[in-house]
Amino acid sequence: MASYAPIGQASFSSTPFNYSPLLSDGDDVVSRSASMASGGGVQKRGTILKYDPATGLITIPAATTDCNAILVNDIDATSAAASALIYVGGKFKADAIIWPGALSHALCTESLRMHDIQIESVVFTDGTLVKAQSLDSEGQAAQQVVEFNKSEEEAARSGAPGKAAAEQKPSMDSPWAYLTAEEREKNPEFAEVPTAKELGEAVGAGEGSGAPVTLSPTSDTVAATPETASFHVTMTAPGVGTWTPVKDSSTWLSIVSPTAPQSTDGDVTYAVGLNNSGLSRTATITVNGKTFTINQSAT
């Protein structure tokens, strides 16, 4: 009688995913690309944020009315600006949310609701938040699939590469983001990465995030008396897109020039008012995601 080698045995791991479920379901989820300026620290997935659509910047909310977004991925903006993905619409689990400081949970939830962000299973009793129960490991794995599939659907509708495709293609932050037509022809694996010309046209049409730039210097300390100063903006991909300075909400700081989008290197001139408060103060000017900090002393 012929003998046969035994059939190989397969083994399976029961180790659960180390994954925090965030989405309550995969319906009506809306996401955006954003960035946090240097000095923003380490922020975790699920953190409630303030998102400024005009600049694409995210910050920690100072008031409950600022709450309008939720962080998708962990980021570290301790010493450099950090790119991020945020949710600006959808339904989320309360036990996965990181609430902003001592702000009222009820009012934060109401502000989020006004921006089409729903927090599931939240009950407020005398100011106490009662959260939903965590999912078990099987539920966590299923939730991961829901989020992944939803992101792929959104990408398909928008015509952009999905998460799976993006992992195989260079980031727009990489040098490959600014290929010439000849370079792209020689590197077919980057066929879907836009050329510098295409990217510039998209930015000019208002569809891009603006020209990549560097600032020099990145901060300045000014006297308590009114004065005018400036810093330099250098375009790291010349001819690609435009840049425009945007100041924060500080009333004592104003931008003198430029006041219109710029397509070449140039200076940003700003003015500060008198500071006789006895306390030093700080303000910022953002240029396409890069932050310039003004520190003013006091009399």
Q: Which of 17-31, 195-209, 250-264 has the highest mean pLDDT?
A: 250-264
The CA-to-CA distance between both ends of the chain, in Å, stands at: 102
Find the mean pLDDT for residues 204-228.
80
Give the mean model confidence (pLDDT) for residues 4-30: 59
Rounded average pLDDT over 18-28: 66
pLDDT for res 92: 86
Q: Do the Cβ atoms of 237 and 172 come closer than 8 Å? A: no
pLDDT tens for 105-153 read 878 888 898 888 888 755 544 444 444 444 444 455 555 555 666 666 6
What integer pLDDT is reported at residue 13 of this predicted model?
47
- Tell me the domains of the chain and their CATH numbers: 30-158 (2.40.300.10), 169-204 (no CATH), 213-296 (2.60.40.10)
- Of 67, 55, 62, 66, the C-alpha closest to 92 is 67
pTM for the model: 0.39
Q: Which residues of 235-272 are buried (b: 16+ CB within 10 A; e: fewer)?
A: beeeebbbbbbebbebeebeeeeeeeebbeebbbebeb
- Confidence grade of residue 158 (pLDDT, cut at 50, 70, 90): low
b (16+ CB within 10 A) / e for 45-80: bbbbbbbbeebbbbbbbeebebbbbbbbeebebeee
Model pLDDT for residues 57-90, shown as the tens digit of each residue: 999 998 989 999 999 889 999 999 999 999 998 8
The predicted pLDDT at position 236 comes to 87
pLDDT value at 207 more than 50: no
pLDDT given at position 178:
47
Phi, psi of 110 (to 5 degrees): -65, -40
Provide mean pLDDT across the span 164-181.
Answer: 46
Average pLDDT over the chain reads 76
Q: Residue 58: its pLDDT value, please? A: 95
**Which residue has tokens 């240097």?**
38
